[in-house]
Amino acid sequence: MIALISGKIVYKGISHVIVDVQGVGYRVFIPLTTFYELPETGQPITLHIHTNVKEDAINLFGFNTVQERDFFQLMISVSGIGPKVAMNILSGISAPELLNAISGGNVNKLVRIPGVGKKMAERLILELKEKVLKKIMLEAVPAAGVQSRVDDILMEDVLSALVNLGYKSNIARDALDKVLRSSEEELGMDKLLKKTLKILAG
């Protein structure tokens, strides 16, 4: 699979570019955020690529930054979101803003993107929140600060779920603290919730 393309721009359009790599022209679809950063035609360029293989075509999607490509790959893993929708989302919001909207559960921010309704915004947050925090934020900011934020958000999510199940907040927090203190590995939300429920049930 093609992961990176470096060459000269021979055509520059809003939706795609053609990059000449040693005499071979590659058509690469791009979001507007990448289009705005493109150099002039004839100038060298490097794009981070996602290769999409279909029965009748091989399409290349290019991005100015690794973070944009990672977001694209995460979004197309969500049910109901294909490459076209993912490109539309990245054209309507920058990668850092998208990161903050998903990690912060900001539905209102996401529905401002053309073509994104409330259900899609909620689905993006539900399916990508934890992945975004763990995979992309680790690359964007110092590890210690990220882990602290990841832990805080995970704890609040687990506590919220426990309270919704009928447990008192202080009792749920004590049980969750016991799980965190006794665990020697990093736990996701599912495992944290299961282990905490086991303590509360005992």
Which CATH architecture describes the domain 4-64? Beta Barrel (2.40)
DSSP conformational letter for 136: I
d(CA 23, CA 18): 12
54 or 88, which is more confident: 88
CA distance to 43, 71, 110, 141, per residue, from 99 (Å)? 30, 8, 11, 12
pLDDT at 72 over 80: yes
Mean pLDDT (whole number) for 63-74 = 88
Specify the pLDDT at position 154.
Answer: 67
pLDDT band at 192 (very low <50, low <70, confident <90, very high): confident
Going by C-alpha positions, the residue among 61, 105, 106 that lies closest to residue 87 is 61
Q: By the 8 A CB rule, do 20 and 8 touch?
A: yes
- CATH of range 67-140; options 3.30.470.20, 3.40.50.620, 1.10.150.20, 2.40.30.10: 1.10.150.20
Count the residues in the chain.
202
pLDDT at 48 over 80: yes
SS3 call for 30: coil
- The string of pLDDT tens digits covering residues 128-172 is 888 776 654 455 444 344 444 445 666 777 777 777 777 887 888
Specify the pLDDT at position 113.
Answer: 87
Q: By the 8 A CB rule, do 159 and 173 touch?
A: yes
Q: Which two tokens stand for residue 6?
A: 């470096």
Considering the entire predicted model, what is its pTM? Answer: 0.63
Q: Which two tokens stand for residue 100?
A: 């903050």
- The mean pLDDT of the chain is 82
Least confident of 44-53, 95-104, 161-170: 161-170
Bridge partners of residue 9, in order along the sequence: 19
pLDDT at 10 over 90: yes
d(CA 86, CA 83): 5
d(CA 142, CA 26): 36
Mean pLDDT (whole number) for 55-71 = 88
Domain ranges for the chain: 4-64, 67-140, 143-201
Mean pLDDT (whole number) for 50-64 = 88
